[in-house]
Amino acid sequence: MRHLLTPQDFTTEELNTLFDLADDIGKHPDTYSHAMEGKKLATLFYEPSTRTRLSIETAMLNLGGRTMGFADAQSSSAAKGETVADTIRVISCFADIAAIRHPKEGAAMVAARYSSIPVINAGDGGHQHPTQTLTDMLTIRSLKGRLDNYVIGLCGDLKFGRTVHSLISAMSRYENIRFVFISPPELRVPDYVTDALNDLGIPYEEVTRLEDALDRLDFLYMTRVQKERFFNEEDYVRLKDYYILDRNKLSLAKSDMYILHPLPRVNEIAPEVDDDPRAAYFRQVKYGVYVRMALILTLMDPASLNA
């Protein structure tokens, strides 16, 4: 049985197979509209989420399957003190596949350990968010036709931004990738991420000004400073508007640079940027559904990866 806890759970060859499937789903959605008929997806969301939950549920519905679950911890047995291990053991009796989002880091790993059905990590605290990473990777591949040879800038909350950590570790596996980390000193990438880059000999630089990085990027991955990750309101208020990408700053970027964002956006990208052809963040959402459909199909039939 296969789970998706981090993007590293799949080899690059397996990811290619998954992305090929996602491409095909995008081109021929009707072919897959009954593929999960009679199957149930449980969405265990201990933390609020709009797009990830709806994207995963849409993916299952598009495949002809059904969904069930809860959208916040208060409406689950977690409010009564049930552990993740016990919850997933019970859910394994109801559903065929589960997606879990939890504020605690490693919760999806615990779920996978005690589960008898495939588990999708839909975000665990500030740790990993692999389905967003698959979305980001499919977007990059679809926009430029490859996953190697890029300078990728990541901007904003690089400390608590789980999509950032997942994307860095996933893209590190491709040839000639360089990173530029753009963040205030308080929100730099954690050392486990930079240690891994150092070990792999992957070049990266850390800067605090967006203007200092823009001219050499092939992709700019913007992120929101997440209020829910701060213990201290004062720190959040101080850092939330540190970066705002507007048309003026964007004029420094290459004409074929793409802007990605895991969404939701607050005010780190000015709405005036939305009409720029380089703004790809709303297109990402569509790719997110395709890749989650491909993921569900793959986890329900892992042998397809070797077919």
Partner 1 sequence: MLNVGKIEEGYVLDHIPAGKAMSIYHHLGLDRAEFPVAIIKNARSEIMGKKDILKAECDPETLNMDVLAFIDSNITVNVIKNGEIIEKKHLELPKEIVNVMRCSNPRCISTAESELPHIFYLADSARQIYRCRYCDVKYEEKDSGRIM
DSSP for residue 52:
H
Residue showing tokens 């990993």: 128
Element (H, E) at 84: helix 84-94
123 binds partner 1 (CB under 8 A): no
Choosing from 56, 110, 137, 295, the residue that interacts with partner 1 (CB under 8 A) is 110
Active-site residue, from 6, 43, 52, 163: 52
28 binds partner 1 (CB under 8 A): no
Contact by Cβ (8 Å): 145, 290: no
Catalytic residue (choose from 129, 141, 159, 240) = 129
Q: Which of 101, 141, 178, 240 is catalytic?
A: 101
- Please choose, out of 59-67, 184-192, 242-250, 299-307, the segment that lies near partner 1 by the rule CB under 8 A: 184-192
For CA atoms 43, 166, 3, 107, give the dihedral sign: negative
Nearest approach, Cβ of 110 to partner 1 (angstroms)? 6
Q: Does 129 qualify as catalytic in the annotation?
A: yes
> Looking at the DSSP assignment, which residues form a beta bridge with residue 219?
152, 258
Select which of 2, 39, 51, 173 is catalytic. Answer: 51
Query: Which of 106, 184, 205, 208 is the binder for partner 1 (CB under 8 A)?
Result: 106
User: Cβ closer to partner 1: 31 or 83?
Assistant: 83
| Nearest distance, CB of residue 229 and partner 1, angstroms | 8
Residue 85 in the binding site for partner 1 (CB under 8 A): yes
- Tokens for 230? 């701060």
Spatial separation of the C-alpha atoms in residues 193 and 45, rounded to whole Å = 26
The upper half-sphere exposure of residue 258, i.e. CA atoms within 13 Å in the direction of its Cβ, equals 16
Residue type, 25: I
Residues that bind partner 1 (CB under 8 A): 83-85, 102-107, 109-110, 124-127, 190-192, 195, 199
